Structure 1
């Protein structure tokens, strides 16, 4: 029996189902709910914590998808449910481009609500059709009947945007209404909506994540692409981008180049639909570049920055490995710019890291001091630990960011300085010349923490064993 916590205690999903069916008189076909019943269930869900509603919907999805759809309808309201169903075929590329790669957020999540409001004004019949479809709680959402409606809406969107070209005031008003600076994204969405039948066929049967991109897979993707453009030529770019959203290592989509364009460099391919793939990948690289603009000072910031460097390296190196990129081509020039920017950012991080390191281990700096030394738990020490962790964890990817040699030298500098500091403390202990033996032992343990973070755990362990032996002697 599935159990979820309600606002007032525990509630089994079976009991919840019984409650809904009796309180709201739901039949086996889970047909449309009356406005009153929707309101009651919406109030019930509104009084439950969001995370518990999430659990309830997930559990319902496993044993009663129709009820799950009913819960989502009441949770999001008629407009919200209609919008979700209307854009359902494009859900793989709906996201927040501030937290996920732009290639996986072709449709900004924040744009959906104002866009749906505009669509409802443009074509009230389309909004009503989507609401009616969303209020039918079948096991699986049936959205195909909306394809003609989507095509009609797409045409209306483009016509409206074209009509604004010589209407600056109205254009400004709509940009403000939608929360956009340009209409490019809106036009792209219209293009995707108009291509949904071809997209559905092209994506049918593909796994949620395409891990391997061998010859057979690439050939199949080529066939799917060619079938889509036969059906609807303008769908090609969206087919490629939506397939790439499923590829585990997206830059491997470039392997399809040879099969589509019969070339192995980007000299002519940038003038085809495939150019959209390269542009999207470069957009992703730029997104990751923003993730390591300064030295991380907390464990959370370290994780984020390490991921950004790793992904930046993977995308930029992956692109050059998968296909010969001409240095004087559009992609080649942009790759050079991105790598140059990465190099400059890492140089600034190196400078900042050196300052933070010497602040935490002032005994190692050019102006050595032995008083007011930071300890773990104090910001200066914790920040030094963070930058050391970052530098060590991205050492293999630093070369790909065009700063490999400088990065390696800085790491060696930190390692040498830390090890020498540990040896100096040990020497005092062994010669019995320590002013405060206990303080030196504490400091030695702190130094070995840094050694551990820098990948020198064994060196730190040896120092501690030798210190213990010196004490016992």
Structure 2
């Protein structure tokens, strides 16, 4: 049994490799793969390449270098690989951490004689450039590995002791499930490789021509491997710029747009995945305490929710009384409530950042003017800018969130307060001197920054010019 290096060393190495410039990472990976194929020993090839794989996977276009046996093994399921999982395991995603465990399991236990021989043949054919022999050997490796893994998993399911041992070798229950999915994909490896050759790395729009090609490949595969054919649309989904477009494929197979029908068809899992992600975002937003959230992260989550929600409702016809329609409405209500609660404190934050104070003996009905006794609080200003960037980011997507009324109300309150404050601040700049003048100019710059956070660069520039005029008065 192979021993792995300590996790701390692997983590430090992965962190270092992740910072490499793309050309350097490609050059390093290609050099390592070339030397390993030539049989040069003494280097921790797999540990370095494992650290490089997440970075290399993010590059567009064909991966450079000469594929070694492990890369050839992974190619059919490379679209399904993920660096880590956030929450529960999901079908159609395979952890990169499981790949080497499955590979070692095959080499040590399942195919101890056949796999080393196939590895040698793959290296020889790669170095000699014999593409026909290479393709044949790789095909045999895929089929043999799929069969061996499936047999071992079936035995493990019947024997608790074997299952426990297999899970220990594979990194637990999730690794065991990853191995099962790797076997499923390898069993239809020719179809998965054909899919990769017909699709761009990123699909901006799943058009009719692409849909027709994918469906033809899916139908052909489903004739002999109906359960495993599901990984074809999983691979397509991983390449979509807008994941909800996978519902176009589901519609084409189901010949329906109606969610009541689609939610009960064999491909309903894709709708369930999209709904589950929206519900996860909704739960996360619902759990936040107003005033304690990272607004940048919340905005990204809300944007993701809005894109998924718009895409989901655009691709299929949802019925409000249907299960999917009810779940979407419930998730949308939770997100809307969380956004509204967060934004309800923004006006108070603005008052703290740009404070007024009462004049004379008239109580609350007395005249107001900007409080220039102290310099503005930069921390409050930074929090307010974050609030306003959130408002600006949410405004275009408030309709699919169901929060348009609250967004408009908060933005109007902010703009009304800013207008009143700026007019009186400019009056103070004209007559103030010393520390009060200096503080007023700082407050004016903060107010201009608030306009910029709202996407109002022109208003910010006008305010600065008005401040310059007032200073010279």
> Are 1:95 and 2:90 an aligned pair?
no
Q: Structure 1 residue 173: deviation in Å?
A: 6.2
Quick check: 1:340–1:402 contact (8 Å CA) kept in 2?
A: yes
Q: Structure 1 residue 295: deviation in Å?
A: 8.7
* Distance of 1:158 and 1:462 partners within structure 2: 70
* Distance of 1:101 and 1:389 partners within structure 2: 32
After the TM superposition, which residues 75-94 of structure 1 pair with which residues of structure 2 at under 5 Å, given as runs? 83-94=70-81
Can you give the 5+ residue segments of structure 2 that lack an aligned partner in the other structure? 1-22, 359-363
**Per-residue Cα deviation, 1:205-228 (whole angstroms, up to 9, x for no partner):** 222222233333322322222122
* Distance of 1:187 and 1:340 partners within structure 2: 38
Q: What is aligned with 2:450?
A: 450
1:256 to 249, 254, 257: 249
Quick check: 1:326–1:332 contact (8 Å CA) kept in 2?
A: yes
Q: What is aligned with 2:200?
A: 207
Q: Structure 1 residue 259: deviation in Å?
A: 2.7
Q: Structure 1 residue 122: deviation in Å?
A: 4.4
* Distance of 2:117 and 2:249 partners within structure 1: 38
Q: What's the secondary structure of 2:239's corresponding residue? A: coil
Q: Structure 1 residue 465: deviation in Å?
A: 2.1
**Per-residue Cα deviation, 1:110-147 (whole angstroms, up to 9, x for no partner):** 33344444444540436535643664544788532312
Q: Structure 1 residue 351: deviation in Å?
A: 4.2
* Distance of 1:390 and 1:229 partners within structure 2: 46
Quick check: 1:297–1:387 contact (8 Å CA) kept in 2?
A: no
Matched residue pairs, number? 419
Q: What is aligned with 2:145?
A: 150
Can you give the 5+ residue segments of structure 1 that lack an aligned partner in the other structure? 1-11, 70-80
Quick check: 1:95–1:105 contact (8 Å CA) kept in 2?
A: no
* Distance of 1:412 and 1:457 partners within structure 2: 17
* Distance of 1:405 and 1:241 partners within structure 2: 38
RMSD: 4.3
* Distance of 1:120 and 1:348 partners within structure 2: 56
Q: Structure 1 residue 431: deviation in Å?
A: 4.9
> Are 1:128 and 2:94 an aligned pair?
no
Q: What is aligned with 1:397?
A: 397
Q: Which moved more, 1:236-245 or 1:379-388?
A: 379-388
Q: What is aligned with 2:437?
A: 437
> Are 1:159 and 2:154 an aligned pair?
yes
Q: Structure 1 residue 441: deviation in Å?
A: 1.4
* Distance of 1:281 and 1:290 partners within structure 2: 14
Using a 3 Å threshold, how does the CA distance of structure 1 residues 312 and 259 change in structure 2: closer, same or farther?
Answer: same
* Distance of 1:133 and 1:281 partners within structure 2: 43
Q: Structure 1 residue 149: deviation in Å?
A: 1.3
* Distance of 1:413 and 1:120 partners within structure 2: 67
Q: What is aligned with 1:281?
A: 274
Using a 3 Å threshold, how does the CA distance of structure 1 residues 222 and 124 change in structure 2: closer, same or farther?
Answer: closer
Q: What is aligned with 2:416?
A: 416
* Distance of 1:92 and 1:296 partners within structure 2: 38
Using a 3 Å threshold, how does the CA distance of structure 1 residues 135 and 219 change in structure 2: closer, same or farther?
Answer: closer
Q: What's the secondary structure of 1:245's corresponding residue? A: helix
Q: What is aligned with 1:194?
A: 187
* Distance of 2:373 and 2:436 partners within structure 1: 13
1:335 to 312, 323, 328: 328
Using a 3 Å threshold, how does the CA distance of structure 1 residues 398 and 99 change in structure 2: closer, same or farther?
Answer: farther
Using a 3 Å threshold, how does the CA distance of structure 1 residues 107 and 287 change in structure 2: closer, same or farther?
Answer: farther
After the TM superposition, which residues 458-469 of structure 1 pair with which residues of structure 2 at under 5 Å, given as runs? 458-469=458-469
Q: What is aligned with 1:223?
A: 216
Q: What's the secondary structure of 1:87's corresponding residue? A: helix
Q: What's the secondary structure of 2:260's corresponding residue? A: coil
Quick check: 2:354–2:443 contact (8 Å CA) kept in 1?
A: no
Q: Which moved more, 1:219-228 or 1:130-139?
A: 130-139
**Per-residue Cα deviation, 1:234-260 (whole angstroms, up to 9, x for no partner):** 222111111122222221222234432
Using a 3 Å threshold, how does the CA distance of structure 1 residues 113 and 373 change in structure 2: closer, same or farther?
Answer: farther
* Distance of 2:346 and 2:97 partners within structure 1: 36
Quick check: 2:395–2:404 contact (8 Å CA) kept in 1?
A: yes
Q: What is aligned with 1:74?
A: none
TM-score (norm 2): 0.73
Q: What is aligned with 1:38?
A: 41
